[in-house]
Amino acid sequence: MAADATGVIHDLGYQPYTGPRFGRAAVVRTLTGYSLRSAFGLGRGARAKIVPVGVFVLMCLPAVINAFLVARGGTRAFPYDTYSYLVRVVGMTIFLAAQAPELVSRDLRHRVLPLYFARPLRPADYPLAKLVALITAGLIVLDVPLLLLYVSTIVGVHGPGAVWHETVLLLPGLAYGLLWSVVLATIALALASFSGRRAIAAGAVAGFFFLTWVLSEVLGTVATGPGHAVTSSTAAHVAGLVSPFTLLDGVRLALGGTQPGQVPDPGAGWGSGYALLLVVLVAASVAALVTRYRKVGAA
């Protein structure tokens, strides 16, 4: 007594999508998240992680050193606002020179942009999403070491008063790190967006930051005279205009940051000048980015 044999053919044909669809806002958020992951080489193989992770480790070194010193009974070795100027300059230059091209030059070189623009986002959304991602990445690279510094310090202090003291010092430091990231990432992304070739874009970014920094160092040395006694000469302040790093430091000093800085204390006058130039640089870079991608979108 055999059972009736039955069979079934499943429909493997094309099925339309009936689920929820996200709008522009969610799509831009997705792009930002994706770009942030790219900035650290996630999802792209081991080689892509070498530079970002390496820079991150480098940036943490002062915090690690601090941990050792505190463990031996010392006090915090680095201020929260400046942290370590040299490590930051080198670290951010390398990080941005390597990762800004990763975010924008790749898509330009391989002409992926028409695919993005055929989707529900506006041409200006693309560079802005990339910018937010790079700023966030820079923020991680700059401020997470600060947090490590903080943690490694407060294990060595006693009493809530001391902890509160450290916290109050930490917070402006975090904000200053954000300012660094906003300024530097915007300039780097704008520079990188002009070339589809990674090497050229990286060279442009690294070249700009490095050369302006060297120039500011040289001019600063010259301006402070043979004895290197820092005076509040105009020349030294002018020298500080040359590099974004010194502009940032000047603003920090004007707002009451730890002395000494890279330039003589600028006071309110020069301080406003530095701040204004920073605003101009950021605004010009954003404008360049938006214009660049509007041109690409319509091209």
Footprint of another protein (CB under 8 A): 7-17, 19-24, 26-27, 30-31, 34, 43-45, 106-107, 110-112, 114-123, 297-298
CB 297 within 8 A of CB 113: yes
Nearer to another protein, 107 or 143 (CB): 107
Nearer to another protein, 20 or 159 (CB): 20
The rounded distance, in Å, linking the Cα atoms of 259 and 68 is 24
CB 61 within 8 A of CB 156: no
The rounded distance, in Å, linking the Cα atoms of 289 and 186 is 9
* Closest distance of CB 113 from another protein, Å: 8
The rounded distance, in Å, linking the Cα atoms of 286 and 119 is 22
* Closest distance of CB 298 from another protein, Å: 5
The rounded distance, in Å, linking the Cα atoms of 18 and 23 is 15
Q: What φ, ψ does residue 27 adopt, rounded to 5°? A: -65, -40
Nearer to another protein, 80 or 116 (CB): 116
The rounded distance, in Å, linking the Cα atoms of 290 and 122 is 11
The rounded distance, in Å, linking the Cα atoms of 108 and 200 is 13
* Closest distance of CB 20 from another protein, Å: 6
* Closest distance of CB 15 from another protein, Å: 7
Residue 216 makes CB contacts below 8 A (sequence gap 6+) with 239, 240, 242, 243, 245, 246, 262
The rounded distance, in Å, linking the Cα atoms of 92 and 212 is 14
Nearer to another protein, 13 or 226 (CB): 13
* Closest distance of CB 66 from another protein, Å: 38
* Closest distance of CB 102 from another protein, Å: 11
* Closest distance of CB 21 from another protein, Å: 4
Q: How far is CA 135 from the centre of its chain?
A: 4
Nearer to another protein, 22 or 68 (CB): 22
